[in-house]
Amino acid sequence: MNSKRAIAQLLQHLAGVGVTHVPHVEFPKPVKPATKPAPAEKKAALNPGGTERAMKSGRQSPAKSNLASESRRPSSGLRSVKELQVTSADRPDPSREVQALVEQKFSGPTHKADALCSLAGIVANCRRCDELATTRKQTVFGVGDPNARIMFIGEAPGADEDRQGEPFVGEAGQLLNKIVTACKLKREDIYICNVLRCRPPGNRNPQPQEAANCREFLDAQISIVQPEYIICWGAVAAQNLLNETRAVGKLRRQFFTYNNAKVMCTYHPSYLLRNPSAKKEVWEDMKFFMLELGVELA
Ligand code: URA
């Protein structure tokens, strides 16, 4: 007897004895053999040239990934710089809940706000990065207009953001606000989020695997908001989003494309706090950006 017929007979029998509903059973996915990260991979920072955050803290991360065993990439000794970038193979299996959210056709700002709210709920329970989930006070999801034309992407929450649950509320955030005002924009009209939704302890660099773990949420936020423009603040955001190895200095003053958005990269406000002379470059970048929006700044 073929299996379809056997199942049909079984269901008929169950119905005969009064069973009309059977529970939905999730079949576990086949387990792939765990692979340990190669030594070169362990060393890899998001910015192979050294991030602004590393310069700030003067520390390099121990680069220990709790999800290394989930990586489906074989460990095969030394890898080239290009290979050290986070690729889709580093990402955990997509969450069905998140996929269902982003596959919707959004009918307007309220629908987008609802989707972001549901996504924030999923993120709040995320434990993909063991260390971050253990040390965070809360997740820092994103803030702003769910229907924004412009999205800002930063690096990761710091201590103030971790405490308040909102991105860019500390010193760097205050400077960002000044830049926004100087551009004749309003913070609340922009959607602001980060590469990571949890604070790395001691403000260390995000590790590549942490960025890979959080990428599904960043991509979901982009898919829901559907911004026309994205500004990547700093090397971590720029290199992660665009899968780039070049320094911000080489990526600024031009537009890239990510999904349907035009992407501009500039220096991180934290970098400007330590290097005020770079403010003029950011101002040039913002003038370039605003001109694209049809606004000429003096
Ligand atoms: N720096 C970031 O990159 N993001 C924040 O939210 C705060 C500081």
Q: CATH no. for residue 244?
A: 3.40.470.10
> Do 169 and 52 reside in the same domain of the chain?
no
Q: Could you read off the pLDDT of 125-143 as tens digits, one per residue?
A: 999 999 999 999 999 999 9
DSSP string, 88-115: GGGSPPPPHHHHHHHTS---SHHHHHHH
- Whether pTM > 0.85 for this model: the answer is no
Q: Domain count for the chain, please give it.
A: 2
What is the reported pLDDT for 94? 86
What is the reported pLDDT for 285? 98
Residue ID of nearest Cα to ligand 1 atom 7:
168
> Do 82 and 136 reside in the same domain of the chain?
no
Q: Sign of the C-alpha dihedral, residues 57, 63, 67, 71?
A: positive
Has residue 298 been placed in a domain? no
Cα-to-centroid distance, 24 and ligand 1 (Å): 42
- Asked if the model's pLDDT at residue 88 lies above 90, the reply is no
Has residue 208 been placed in a domain? yes
Strands (E), 222-260: 229-233, 256-258
Cα-to-centroid distance, 3 and ligand 1 (Å): 56
Rounded mean pLDDT of 91-106?
Answer: 93
pLDDT band at 85 (very low <50, low <70, confident <90, very high): low
Distance CA 68, CA 42 (A): 9
Burial environment of residue 100 by CB neighbours within 10 A (0 to 12, 13 to 18, 19 or more): exposed
Q: Could you read off the pLDDT of 109-122 as tens digits, one per residue?
A: 999 999 999 999 99
Cα-to-centroid distance, 4 and ligand 1 (Å): 55
Has residue 297 been placed in a domain? no
Rounded mean pLDDT of 1-25?
Answer: 46
Q: Could you read off the pLDDT of 176-203 as tens digits, one per residue?
A: 999 999 999 999 999 999 999 999 999 9
Is pLDDT larger for residue 63 or for residue 200?
A: 200
Half-sphere CA count of 272, side-chain side, radius 13 A = 20
What is the reported pLDDT for 298? 87
pLDDT band at 123 (very low <50, low <70, confident <90, very high): very high
> Do 263 and 204 reside in the same domain of the chain?
yes
User: Which range of residues forms the domain containing residue 49?
Assistant: 3-28+35-86
Cα-to-centroid distance, 167 and ligand 1 (Å): 6
Cα-to-centroid distance, 163 and ligand 1 (Å): 13
Has residue 41 been placed in a domain? yes
> Do 259 and 149 reside in the same domain of the chain?
yes
> Do 101 and 78 reside in the same domain of the chain?
no
> Do 127 and 188 reside in the same domain of the chain?
yes
Residue 154 alpha carbon, nearest atom of ligand 1: 3
> Do 102 and 238 reside in the same domain of the chain?
yes
> Do 148 and 216 reside in the same domain of the chain?
yes
> Do 111 and 73 reside in the same domain of the chain?
no
Q: Please list every protein residue whose CB sits less than 6 Å from any atom of ligand 1.
A: 154-158, 161, 167-168, 170, 172-173, 194, 270
Cα-to-centroid distance, 233 and ligand 1 (Å): 9
> Do 64 and 130 reside in the same domain of the chain?
no
Choose which residue among 136, 153, 194, 199 to substitute to test ligand 1 binding: the one with the highest number of ligand atoms within 8 A of its C-beta: 194
Has residue 224 been placed in a domain? yes
Q: Which amino acid is at 89?
A: A
Residue 269 alpha carbon, nearest atom of ligand 1: 1
- Asked if the model's pLDDT at residue 45 lies above 50, the reply is no
- Asked if the model's pLDDT at residue 75 lies above 70, the reply is no
> Do 158 and 57 reside in the same domain of the chain?
no
Distance CA 205, CA 234 (A): 12
- Asked if the model's pLDDT at residue 71 lies above 60, the reply is no
Cα-to-centroid distance, 191 and ligand 1 (Å): 13
Residue 103: phi, psi to the nearest 5? -80, -5
> Do 140 and 253 reside in the same domain of the chain?
yes
Has residue 91 been placed in a domain? no
Residue 161 alpha carbon, nearest atom of ligand 1: 6
Rounded mean pLDDT of 271-294?
Answer: 98
Rounded mean pLDDT of 292-296?
Answer: 97
What is the reported pLDDT for 104? 94
Three-state DSSP at 153 gives strand
Q: Which amino acid is at 257?
A: T
